[in-house]
Amino acid sequence: MPTFDEARRLILSSVAALGVERVGLLESLGRVLAEDVVAPWNMPFCNNSAMDGYAVRAEDCREPVRLKITDYVPAGRVPTTAVEPGCAIKIMTGAPVPAGCDAVVPVEETEETNGQVLIKEHVSPRQHVRFTGEDVRCGEKILASGMTIGPPEISMLASFGRAFVPVYRRVRVAVLSTGDELIEVGEPIEVGKIINSNELSLAASVKAIGAIPVLLGIGRDDRASLREKLVEGLKADVVITSAGVSAGDRDFVRDALIDLEVKQLFWRVDMKPGGPTAFGLKDGRPVFSLPGNPVSTMVTFEELVKPALLKMMGHRRIVGPLVKAILQDTAEKKAGKIHFLRVRMERSGDTYLAYSSGDQNTGMLKTMVRADGIAILPAERTSFAPGEELSVHLLSTEVGMLDEGALQYEAEKKN
């Protein structure tokens, strides 16, 4: 049985980025760029004004002076006259600066009367002028393959007229829940039945990272039913099953996978929760078999499955951020395997504080709802005291963010 670290290394060494496709610019948000992008022209394309104001010659404005206004250049118009000595041209932000101009004076630093403008202060050469190529030079690499495309990258690509972008393909992930006890959401609940929440939580986790969930429904506890579902699932890029992988008499997933010649790389992992987790390959397609307990399912997805899916979609950063946090509660465990403790996180200045999110029994779903992170309890340790520093894998992007009340408090402190 592999350790957690061994299992994750084995999984990651077994997967690679998928193929490339071209998508519309807005569709590329959150995707991974598949090739370098080189600037086809300078940016700015030409010298232009950074302010609404007056295009002048700096040597005319070494001290307060009145200049004759000889023209007006709004944004989008090409100037047809040059700035002559003793003159100024009214100009708007973004408009090309006229010949002879080497500075722009903001309108708020002037007074215009009777076709003249008073320049109130000394003017420095180059002020408030955006010069050709000062941001990006023609031929410069502006984005590198492997970058995740966010709003700044969208802006850069749009600025250079890129309507379509080559990105790594999104992973199609087939999701299968198993068990005769399962019923679908919306069906009447009855004693002995369990609502199939795993399918939707896994599908949501898949969708949250930009992959595409393919829902297979419920596989019943017989080899024929499971085989039929798995044959359909293996048409996707990845298969994830939940339940049916422990040592019970009716845990048939393993048998069905063997029937389909899925090569098993491991069947258990030395971790808690998530010990009965399996991983295999079918013609290069990863097949993950996760425990049926909803908490175990979500933890194993986060720690073992998610990094593999991100790698397959071209991401280089594939594991959520680890932070150091001060434990606020006592935690105990058996020696020999790594434990993942669900914790609620708070910030105290620059320090993270980690509180247990509740009863750590894997049947307690609300502890996952409350959790902002997963504290990593090393395999060799058995007890952890309040005040100890632990590594925590952050789950929530809201940790440390300020609400409206906190913003008001910070503003009042400054005043």
User: Domain with 335 in it: what CATH number?
Assistant: 2.40.340.10
Examine the domain organization and report whether 78 and 198 are in the same domain: no
Q: What is the DSSP string of 308-335?
A: HHHHHTT-S--SPPEEEEEE-S-EE--T
176/301 same-domain check: yes
Q: Are 104 and 93 in contact (CB under 8 A)?
A: no
CATH number, position 231: 3.40.980.10
- Assess whether 295 and 376 both reside in one domain: no
Same domain, 29 and 64: no
pLDDT of residue 310: 97
Domain count, the chain: 4
- Burial letters 97-130, b for 16+ CB under 10 A, else e: bbebbbbbbebeebeeeeeebebeeebeeebbbb
Give a yes or no: residue 399 inside a domain.
no
Query: SS3 breakdown of the chain: % helix, strand, coil, rounded to 5?
Result: 20, 35, 45
Same domain, 198 and 307: yes
Tell whether 147 and 255 lie within a shared domain: no
User: Does residue 403 lie within any of the structural domains?
Assistant: no
- Which domain covers residue 101, as residue numbers? 48-130
176 and 155, same structural domain?
A: no
pTM of the model: 0.90
Helix (H, G, I), strand (E, B) or coil at 402: coil
124 and 245 part of one domain: no
* Residue 411 lies inside a defined structural domain of this protein: no
Spell out the per-residue pLDDT of the chain, length 415, in tens: 999 999 999 999 999 999 999 999 999 999 999 999 999 999 999 999 999 999 999 999 999 999 999 999 999 999 999 999 999 999 999 999 999 999 999 999 999 999 999 999 999 999 999 999 999 999 999 999 999 999 999 999 999 999 999 999 999 999 999 988 999 999 998 998 999 999 999 999 999 999 999 999 999 988 888 999 999 999 999 999 998 776 554 568 988 999 999 999 999 999 999 999 999 999 999 999 999 999 999 999 999 999 999 999 999 999 988 999 999 999 999 999 999 999 999 988 889 999 999 999 888 899 999 999 999 999 999 999 999 999 999 998 888 777 777 667 666 677 6
Same domain? 255 vs 265: yes
Residue 254 lies in a domain: yes
User: What is the structure's pLDDT at 409?
Assistant: 65
* 413: in domain: no
Q: 307 and 231, same structural domain?
A: yes
3-state SS class at 224: helix
Q: Cβ distance 39 to 142 under 8 Å?
A: yes
Residues 197 and 297 in one domain: yes
Cite the beta strand spans of 169-284 per DSSP E. Answer: 172-178, 182-183, 194-195, 212-219, 238-242, 263-266, 271-272, 278-282
Please check whether residues 79 and 67 belong to one and the same domain. yes
Give residue 82's region: left, alpha or beta (phi > 0; psi -120 to 50): beta
Domain at 73, CATH number: 2.170.190.11
Q: Domain for residue 407, yes or no?
A: no
Domain-located, residue 406: no
DSSP classification of residue 96: B
| pLDDT at residue number 93 | 97
In terms of Cβ atoms closer than 10 Å to its own Cβ (0-12, 13-18, 19+), residue 131 is: middle
Here the CATH number for the domain that contains residue 39 is: 3.90.105.10
Domain end: 247, 281, 312, which one? 312
Residue 402 covered by a domain? no
